[in-house]
Amino acid sequence: MDLKTIELQTPYTPQSRFNDLKGIEPEFWKKKKLEQMNKTEWELLCDGCGKCCLNKLEIKGKIRFTNTHCRFLDCQTCLCKIYEHRFEKVPDCRDIDLQAIREKPRWLPKTCAYWLLDNGYDLPEWHPLITGNADSVHQAKMSLKGRKIISESGIKDYENYTVNWQDL
């Protein structure tokens, strides 16, 4: 068995991102703009809420979220099941880059760390970078975990699934 095989068989655990932050500048998100962050810092900002994987509609210039989710979202972990291949398999899956974060109308949830920082807000107290615990986003009920959501498979009338959750 070669190293690559071993790596593929090791399940990703969200906590692994936050276990060893020794090489990371403390509170880097307060000192740098998004465009100044390196890849590791950028990735650490994602709180793992999964809310960007909900389907959305644009109605009269505003984004309406639905409680339907991409078929590749794991509802228990709020992780993408095909992360490495998401752009090949899902043509409208969006990379979270500066353009996406600044797009109008806003389509990222208002709790998204990228959107918050880019708009002058601090990270919320439940963010895993603050708590050191990847589960804190779920414990604070800010993720999709435990919500009434359904897979998009077979759904055509998305307008009948719009939701007005406070954190969207």
Minimum distance of ligand SF4 from residue 106's CB (angstroms): 11
- When binding is defined by CB under 6 A, the residue of 21, 75, 90, 155 that contacts ligand SF4 is 90
Strand order in the sheet with 54-59: 54-59, 62-69, 150-151
Q: Does 47 bind ligand SF4 (CB under 6 A)?
A: yes
Looking at beta carbons only, is 113 or 134 nearer to ligand SF4? 113
Q: Which residue has the tokens 């009269």?
A: 60
CB under 6 A: which stretch of 5-13, 31-39, 110-118, 160-168 binds ligand SF4? 110-118
CA angle 25, 77, 102 (to 5 degrees): 55
Of positions 34, 44, 113, 168, contacts ligand SF4 by CB under 6 A: 113
Q: By CB under 6 A, name the one of 34, 37, 44, 46 that touches ligand SF4.
A: 46
In the complex, what is the shortest distance from the CB of residue 118 to ligand SF4, in angstroms, rounded to a whole number? 11
**CB environment 62-93: b (16+ within 10 A), e (fewer):** ebbbbebbbebbebebbbbeeeeebeeeeeeb
Of the candidate spans 13-21, 36-44, 104-112, 151-159, the one that interacts with ligand SF4 by CB under 6 A turns out to be: 104-112
Interface with ligand SF4, residue 50, by CB under 6 A: yes
Q: Answer for the pair 129, 45: CB distance below 8 angstroms, yes or no.
A: yes
| Cβ atoms of residues 138 and 43 within 8 Å | no
Which has the closest alpha carbon to 130: 51, 14, 25, 18?
18
Instruction: Closer to ligand SF4 by CB, 37 or 49: give it.
Output: 49
